[in-house]
Amino acid sequence: MARLMGKTCVVTGAAAGIGRETALAFLREGASVQALDHDARGLAQLQEQHPQLQVKALDVTDATAVTAFHAGLERLDVQVNCAGMVATGNLSACSMDDWRRSLDINMTSVYLMMGAALDLMLPLKSGSIVNIASVISSIGAAPDRFAYGATKAAVIGMTKSVARDYAHANIRCNAICPSAVETPSMTARIEAMADSEAARRAFNARQPLGRMGRPEEIAELAVYLASDLSGFMTGSQLVIDGGAKL
């Protein structure tokens, strides 16, 4: 299949996990893919394995860097904002550092990236923006995820606002809302726990399907939202959570 043939796509958080699998899925679907991440080493390894990818180490919370990157693009058809972080702790345990970093990485980066994308998409009167949110957001809560839930709820809000304001220009904006996904960062968090086997069982049990999601499953949904097959969909929050929030 070539559902993204001829499209220029940008994916943030592309060195690992959902971002990596999304960039590779886009590549398989015929897109020209720009893979962005702050992890230069991870990007270099990714490009070594997949030389067709174009990679760039970029701090997506840096307004000047984001603007300069987009200024170097001739066009942009699809943007996937996947860069994010998970701060643990309830409100009482949420430090100012965790709060500010969560705002910067989970919210400000999306604000900056979408603003720069619109400058390229508006002249084309076409485009698809896909934001990776979470079911831990305005959809539902989880213990000890105060800053994460607040910022992912904001991502859904920004998604709906952009979808409403730019529908007239045929620019679509949707959010994917996963539950726990078996990414390298998730694996690292589990293995750092005192009883990693018990922790893994608990994470799996949160989904009625009995397991965490796989990054490639989220990537497949991103392909659909990036493609013209979803041309009548905008402002949606698509839950992909194994039934966790039923």
Give me the helix-helix angle, 146-166 and 109-124, nearest 10°. Answer: 20
Among residues 218, 197, 212, 217, which one has the least CA distance to residue 242? 212
Question: What is the Cα 115 distance to its own chain's centre?
Answer: 16
Active-site amino acid positions? 148
Neighbouring residues of 96: CB distance < 8 A, sequence distance ≥ 6 = none
